[in-house]
A and B are shown apart, each in its own frame.
Chain A
Amino acid sequence: MYVAVKGGEAAIDNAHRLLAEARRGDPAVPELSVAQIREQMALLVDRVMTEGSLYDPDLAALALKQARGDVVEAVFLVRAYRTTLSRFGASVPVDTGQMAVARRVSATFKDLPGGQVLGPTFDYTHRLIDFALAAESEIEPAAEADPRADAAICPRVTDLLAQDGLIEASPPDAGAPVGDLTREPVDYPADRALRLQALARGDEGFVLGLAYSTQRGFGRTHPFVGEIRVGDVAVEFVPEELGFAVPLGRVRLTECQMVNQFKGSGTAPPQFTRGYGLSFGQSERKAMAMALVDRALRAEELGEPVVSPAQDQEFVLAHCDSLQATGFVEHLKLPHYVDFQAELELVRRLRAEFERKSESVEMQEAAE
């Protein structure tokens, strides 16, 4: 019960106990283990890690269990935990060119070094409910890949295009410190690194919708998927006392390199431009949407008119975070008695004045 004025404490405790019971569901049904969620809801776990900005599949799975499967709530739990962790440094930038590729597709070339590797994808499945899956079933083991002679060489498509100058060069790493929007407030205009951070953490649905709008004329960018690759990369760290990089472990990433409309000027020949997306685990929809919006947000830098929502960085960055958005939308559930009381008083006064005025007009008219 939404308790009036006093007695809230007991009500809150009771609501939390009820929540715990609802989370568990029917006790006759076996309880989900964190490992089951991690292994069988893997794409959901990946999304929570991506938007939670923390690579920890077990923690993300636990958050999902606690959140009853609510993605935003799970992201919330992960973020609230992340913020308590101490920062002892930044890793060496990961090299996605050295990725152990589980999936790699290019939409711009039919074949290329390293080949097209479909990997585990829904792309060409027919969306027909598999009722057999309702029962527990043994699965057919997957086919082993042929060990390809060139399997180890998987150059990035954008690097292949860059060799001929067909695509703009990737800006060189100046070694300058990279901003961290979780530690400092965003100062507009935000640079591309900060924008990419915001998009990486941004709500998948919101970023997807914005990306889609650019495909329908609201900030068009003529995109091609140069490449999507999913796989494991090594994370290295240089401890100050050692002075050389040591491996910390591996993370699974999805990278999308979007090849976009060309641009030229009187002094520079036309070349394709880039949009970039990166996410934890296998999160292709997110990486692609991020790459489209990244490119749209470069409109000003590339001399394009800024007319659509996806090109407006204040619009995108200020609204793409699911926690900020859900917080402010859902806070409307909180008590607003005093503000509403003030509004009530004003509206009543204005209505009374209105009535008085129309009465006096009527009286005047009657007198005439």
Chain B
Amino acid sequence: MGGGGGAEPSAPQSGYNFAYLDEGTKRMIRRAILKAIAVPGYQVPFASREMPMPYGWGTGGVQVTAAILGRADVLKVIDQGADDTTNAVSIRRFFAKTSGVATTTRTTEATVIQTRHRIPETPLTEGQTLVYQVPIPEPLRFLEPRETETRQLHALAEYGAMHVKLYEDISRHGHIATTYAYPVEVAGRYVMDPSPTPKFDNPKMDDCPALQLFGAGRERRIYAVPPYTSVRSLDFEDHPFRVQDFTEPCALCGARGHYLDEVVTDDAGGRMYICSDTDICETRVAEAAR
């Protein structure tokens, strides 16, 4: 389970540079990161490298993590909120092997958290960095597939098409039908894709004390939300932004107000709901047992 994922620092694998990437590549990525922090929500092109895992598995996040990791860092990797999912295990092992940094499953102990699809339930603090794996960095991509067009739309802050899309959802379904990768406006300027996190997590991005970095390897883009930056989910006055709520508490720790996974227990319609964030769930179960 999640608790088994932590490890003390060790010697990195020989034959490769610290954290796999060479220092020249790291410098190039750090420059892109600095630019991204300076222009919140703007997608900075970068010379993404071929990585030893496939595109779509988190190559962007892995490159960002590799570029910012130092020997004193403590790394946590989650996928779907959980430390024990296969890809989280794989990426955590990759950095344990290539950098030798300490790893943890505890959100509070981590200095760098790489994530796919979730933001931890435990509030993040100053000094922490959350690295998102991003498949499609362009929030307008599904309204306009051509890059030449979308870059111009961003330059002119021409986001009318996105509002029309959300309005069409309301007129068709009575609701905004975007449930994840819900578009946000960063620092009052750029519309940004928060990566495919459920919109449940959007409010956690706003005014967050931690640095949020987004890496898209296949699409070769890095973007960022600096600490304490406004992140507003797009909505309308008469249809304000709302997050998902769950009628049941977590079946393991009893928490309410957490994002839950639906687990199918049999083929006769049986279901149970458990916290997607395994760290907070295990911590609560352990505290209750004490």
Contact = CB atoms under 8 A, between A and B. Distances in A.
Interface string A151-171: 001010001100110000000
Contacts, number: 56
A124 B274 CA distance: 25
Contacts of B53: 126-127
Interface residues of B, number: 28
B121 to A, nearest CB: 16
Interface stretch (A56-64, A69-77, A109-117, A340-348): A109-117
Nearest to B81: A110
Given A124-B86, A126-B52, A218-B145, A264 B264 contact: no
Contact of B263 (A110, A159, A216, A308): A110
B142 A220 contact: yes
Given A164-B269, A220-B142, A111 B263 contact: yes
B275 to A, nearest CB: 11
* Prevailing SS type, chain B contact patch: loop
A150 to B, nearest CB: 9
B228 to A, nearest CB: 33
A126 B136 contact: no
Contact of B80 (A110, A126, A270): A110
Contacts of A118: 86
A2 B262 CA distance: 66
B271 to A, nearest CB: 9
A111 B264 contact: yes
Interface in B140-172: 141-142, 144-145
B94 A126 contact: yes
A109 B263 contact: yes
A314 B266 CA distance: 42
Interface string B52-82: 1110010000000000000000000000101
Interface in A75-126: 109-113, 118, 123-124, 126
B267 interface: yes
Contacts of A4: none
Interface string A122-152: 0110111000000000000000000000000
Contacts of A189: none
B87 A124 contact: yes
Contact of B267 (A160, A216, A220, A264): A160
Given A217-B144, A264-B173, A124 B264 contact: no
Nearest to B94: A126
Contacts of B267: 113, 153, 155, 159-160, 163
A50 to B, nearest CB: 21
Contacts of B51: 127
B6 to A, nearest CB: 19
B14 interface: no
Contacts of B87: 123-124
A123 B141 contact: no
B86 A109 contact: no
B266 A113 contact: yes
A90 B136 CA distance: 44
A114 to B, nearest CB: 9
Interface string B30-59: 000000000000000000000111100100
A155 B142 CA distance: 34
Given A111-B263, A124-B89, A264-B173, A216 B145 contact: yes
A270 to B, nearest CB: 7
B52 to A, nearest CB: 4
B10 interface: no
Contacts of B141: 216-217
B90 interface: yes
Contacts of B142: 217, 220
A276 to B, nearest CB: 20
A99 to B, nearest CB: 15
A83 to B, nearest CB: 36
A216 B136 contact: yes
B261 interface: yes
Contacts of B247: none
Nearest to A159: B267
Interface in B250-275: 261-267, 269, 274
A308 B144 CA distance: 12
A164 B82 CA distance: 27
Nearest to A112: B264
A276 B54 CA distance: 23
A79 B138 CA distance: 43
Contacts of A124: 86-87, 89-90
28 contacts: A109-B262, A110-B80, A110-B263, A110-B274, A111-B263, A111-B264, A112-B263, A112-B264, A113-B264, A113-B265, A113-B266, A113-B267, A123-B57, A123-B86, A124-B89, A126-B52, A126-B94, A127-B51, A127-B53, A153-B267, A155-B267, A159-B267, A160-B264, A160-B267, A215-B136, A216-B141, A217-B145, A308-B145
Interface of A: 109-113, 118, 123-124, 126-128, 153, 155, 159-160, 163-164, 215-218, 220, 264, 270, 308
Given A124-B87, A127-B54, 11 more contacts: A109-B264, A113-B266, A124-B86, A126-B90, A126-B94, A160-B264, A163-B269, A164-B269, A216-B145, A270-B173, A308-B145
